[in-house]
Amino acid sequence: MKIYPVILSGGAGTRLWPLSRAALPKQLLPLVSDKTMLQDTALRLHGRAELMPPLVVCGNEHRFLVAEQMREIGIKPMAILLEPVGRNTAPAVAAAAHFLKRRDPEAMMLVLPADHVITDTEAFHQAIGRAAEQAAAGALVTFGIVPTGPETGYGYIKSGEPMPKGEQAFKVERFVEKPDRATAEGFVAAGNYYWNSGMFLFQAEAYLKELGQFQPAMLAASAEAVDKGYGDLDFCRLEEAAFTSCPSDSIDYAVMEHTRHAVVIPASIGWSDVGSWSALWEVQPGDGDGNVSRGDVYLDNVKNTLVRAESRIVAVVGVEDLVVVETPDAVLVAHKDQVQRVKQVVDHLKGQDRTEHLHHTRVYRPWGCYEGIDIGERFQVKRITVNPGGKLSLQMHHHRAEHWVVVSGTARVTCGDKVSLLTENESTFIPIGMNHRLENPGKVPLHLIEVQSGSYLGEDDIVRFEDVYQRT
């Protein structure tokens, strides 16, 4: 029995701001281990004979990061499917189902968000085995997490009568929205309510059949997006107009709450969706005072607190039950009971037309990254890193000139018709309007300082003439 993992790597993870941002969301960050959450998700599937290489679904803006993170852990995805716009989980899974069915008409899909924590991998795979038995008979299976307490941040699934065949499998009686505390306590006491994990296992054909019954417009649009999709380097692009026309909805609302074939598999697997800073504190081991820290952190008389330092020392003294997160351009201090309000900070930044919710001072590109060091009137200073073999586009700027100083490594510089090699402590000047390109022909990273000067320094002042990464 072949099972195709479908890893959903969309979403912005706004409740984990300031670490998670639109350009670098939580699934692409190392939050719990030294691997990113996407990498951990892929690795817990790796090496199982019944599991095929994963199909990763992500947004266009994250495609190079996703590809690089898969390369780092030595996993080659079956494909990376690019969503031109976010349309929630039901259309993303529909596109994946169409994609898989064209390659294997009997494909079985294991749908997994990329940003979950699962600490008991063996129990997880046992649950997959039980779910596969039900899915093979046509069920649409969801994994219900055995609750460890009256959690109000999760939806719940109420199980009904047991399935006639198979171990620990029940018909879904109903889905329940996030409850208040008293209701959640009643659910836990009842013993037949489970946290809604957002993980599923079903045949691609079975999902598409139910989708056609309840959301025919979504079925048609997602099929067209796949049919008209095309390859781009190592990626598969869904056709933009068709996918954009898909109604936006979750799997639960679009299908699972309506189908007569929903089955829940109870699972006790050490699961968390890490939907807040307090949830991240809960899933990590703490010190003797219940503190979880990462980075250059000093604690004195602190209890039950999460502290994360990304770029400098953070000293915390005489407090309890806080979340303190430092990044180079933003700091969050919140009580653990109030961390759900972080989303309102992000909404405020959006309303003020600021950029701290969009990207960090370090911005990743397919060739490497750049980091803002200083900015003022008519000038900007950046630290640029170009990976070995990396090559920026052949480009020009209408409004700015650039001065490059090589710190380490070797740079091949094209400026007009001239091509030159620069090494440590050498520099060059790129005038306004001059075609230019920067490359790293060496085997070690290239580091340089770029000083921009001019009347406009925005990233959109780039005219690309040629690009190996096929960006427009």
Quick: pLDDT tens for 352-393. 999 999 999 999 999 999 999 999 999 999 999 999 999 999
Confidence (pLDDT) at 167: 83
Confidence (pLDDT) at 74: 96
Give the Cβ contact number of residue 471 at 10 Å. 11
Residue showing tokens 């129990």:
123
d(CA 180, CA 187): 11
Confidence (pLDDT) at 165: 86
Q: Which residues contact 102 (CB under 8 A, 6 or more apart)?
A: 226
Please give the torsion angle defined by the CA atoms of residues 428, 433, 437 and 438, in that order, rounded to the nearest 10 degrees. 40
Give the Cβ contact number of residue 125 at 10 Å. 16
Give the Cβ contact number of residue 363 at 10 Å. 15
pLDDT tens-digit profile of 291-313?
999 999 999 999 999 999 999 99
- CATH 3.90.550.10 in the chain: give the residue spans: 3-272
Please give the torsion angle defined by the CA atoms of residues 173, 177, 183 and 189, in that order, rounded to the nearest 10 degrees. 40
Task: Look at residues 1, 211, 200 and name the one whose alpha carbon lies nearest to residue 95.
Answer: 211
Q: Residue 306 pairs with which residues in a beta bridge?
A: 292, 323
Residue showing tokens 């968000």:
113
Structure tokens belonging to residue 336: 């653990």
Task: Look at residues 316, 68, 271, 268 and name the one whose alpha carbon lies nearest to residue 153.
Answer: 271
State pTM to two decimals: 0.92
8 A C-beta contact, residue 306 and residue 277: yes
Confidence (pLDDT) at 402: 98
Distance of CA 186 to the CA centre of its chain: 34
Give the architecture-level CATH label for domain 3-272.
Answer: Alpha-Beta Complex (3.90)
CA 444, 447, 453: angle at the middle one, nearest 5?
155
Strand-by-strand arrangement of the 322-327 sheet: 292-294, 306-309, 322-327, 330-335
Confidence (pLDDT) at 47: 86
Structure tokens belonging to residue 419: 């091509």
Confidence (pLDDT) at 117: 97
CA 448, 451, 454: angle at the middle one, nearest 5?
150
- For residue 129, CA distances in Å to 42, 51, 263 come to 18, 11, 14
8 A C-beta contact, residue 336 and residue 353: no
d(CA 344, CA 330): 15
Confidence (pLDDT) at 176: 96
d(CA 112, CA 200): 7
Confidence (pLDDT) at 181: 94
- In 3-state terms the chain splits into helix, strand, coil percentages (rounded to 5) of 25, 35, 40
8 A C-beta contact, residue 141 and residue 134: yes
362-466, superfamily in CATH?
Answer: Jelly Rolls (2.60.120.10)
- CATH 2.60.120.10 in the chain: give the residue spans: 362-466
Per-block mean pLDDT, blocks of 10 residues, the chain (472 long) = 94 91 95 96 92 96 95 96 96 98 97 97 96 97 96 95 91 96 96 97 98 98 97 93 96 97 98 95 96 98 98 98 97 96 96 94 94 94 97 97 98 97 97 98 97 94 93 76
